[in-house]
Structure 1
């Protein structure tokens, strides 16, 4: 009788051990499936076309990452971040606002990357004959639209106007006359573009990337000479309050836009490549 009980117990113990082993095998061989990640990117409005294409290609390469894009003027985006807006990446149209974000502790200096450059151009409505050359924007009663000076495009535009004055036979009064003609100042680059396209003014200064695709159907372009032009440098940084599991995804996006493929896309949209001395 005792022998029979011992035999039954041995069988039960054996079955238990086999069951445990099979359970462990199932647990170890079940593939780990990551949940989808939503990556929120706040980007300057002049990046709209390029970043939309970059987003689509990035999501094809990393199908479990969904990118949510929010475009606006750079200062507006920084204000959103300052008010605890939920975001993972901040793409600025200048270095000043990236530095400001670092000072505020919104992004870390070690997490910033310069990734593109841009230039300025003068634009006029397609049917307008008021402004035919650069110097015409200083003529009396000419209506000009610029970006606000606290916006990257506005600061670049004012710097360019100062340089234009030196080109025009050292016409130091040139900038003052142009600024007197300003009828509207906008908070984002795309707003300047839109208002000129619908004829609200005779001319405006925008990024060349915004103007090229819409010329000559919707507007005219008057090129600003290199001696009077300025270079806009775009930077992107990882937000400090980005969750740990998102930081790797954010870095993947940065790596993608500075890769050969990403730079090709930016170049097709008119952006330049950042040089080592910039």
Structure 2
């Protein structure tokens, strides 16, 4: 018999949460920059000090990266005056379709290798994708968990309004994998096109629960309550990042990817709840 996991209550207020992912993250970056940490891979620094970077870097990134990549973008601009990082956050499948459809972008960071394969399969990448973080699913409920959700099975209760990501999106594919492994059938009230949209349904009290990433639960602060479930361990998503073939700003794009992969970048990402890449 599977032991029902204890609920984990989120009590971090919005102001403190923002400080944790924003100000504290940038402080960690600054500290790492000044401490002389070595990059995690050859050439993995936020840029070559002998080369002057400029212009705009356009990054297409999975919606779950919104908070951490926004912080990294601000740090990149601080380190390289004259540069600007613009983001297009959304469902990885939608972003991949935009890229293969000709949308101009420099960097693609997806929430699963399968989605990245859509882009590499069309020869749209200039470098081999590299996994830079992983992410694990978690159940987001209303504050106080009025539905008493303590397991994945509890989401099948007929009186519970549950939201899932669409199965074409990495978070939806991972949720389906966890449900299938547990032999559970769940009919959600809606399928959402990205993980932030699924979470918003709970935040607006339009749903009782949603299966999202642990990073999104953490970013939401006290707007939701997080419930871990053991089946999530079998549905962890790797996040790959790659330079795109027709990148308008190749030099700056490479430097941004290097920042993401550097020890400083990894500190921001793990502080947001992401898991380090598997060794």
TM-score tier after normalising by the smaller chain length: 0.7 to 0.9
Deviation by residue 1:214-258 (Cα, 9 ceiling, x = unmatched): 24x211211111665421111111111114xx2222111111111
Alignment partner, residue 256 of structure 1: 259
The Cα shift of 1:162 comes to 2.1
Which of 201, 212, 215 is the aligned partner of 1:206?
A: 212
CA distance in 2, matches of 1:251, 1:43: 15
Alpha-carbon RMSD: 1.8
CA distance in 2, matches of 1:241, 1:67: 17
More helix by share: 1
Q: 1:252 is paired with a residue of what secondary structure?
A: helix
Alignment partner, residue 121 of structure 1: 138
Residue segments in structure 1 that go unaligned for 5+ positions in a row: 1-32, 166-171
Query: Highest relative contact order (Cα 8 Å, sep 6+), 1 or 2?
Result: 2
Which of 192, 212, 225 is the aligned partner of 1:186?
A: 192
Structure 1 moving runs of 4+ over 4 Å: 226-229
More strand by share: 1
> For the Cα contact (< 8 Å) 1:43–1:71, is it kept in 2?
yes
> For the Cα contact (< 8 Å) 2:59–2:108, is it kept in 1?
yes
Which of 237, 240, 246 is the aligned partner of 1:241?
A: 246
**Number of positions where the alignment pairs a residue of Structure 1 with one of Structure 2:** 228
Deviation by residue 1:145-179 (Cα, 9 ceiling, x = unmatched): 0000000000001111123x2xxxxxx3xx22x2x
Q: Does 1:139 align with 2:157?
A: yes
Residue segments in structure 2 that go unaligned for 5+ positions in a row: 1-50
Show the 5 A alignment for 1:68-217.
Answer: 68-108=86-126, 110-134=127-151, 135-163=153-181, 165=182, 172=183, 175-176=184-185, 178=186, 180=187, 182-215=188-221, 217=222
Q: 1:213 is paired with a residue of what secondary structure?
A: helix
Over alpha carbons, which structure has the higher Rg? 1
The Cα shift of 1:262 comes to 0.6
> For the Cα contact (< 8 Å) 2:178–2:231, is it kept in 1?
no
CA distance in 2, matches of 1:92, 1:183: 26
CA distance in 2, matches of 1:160, 1:125: 22
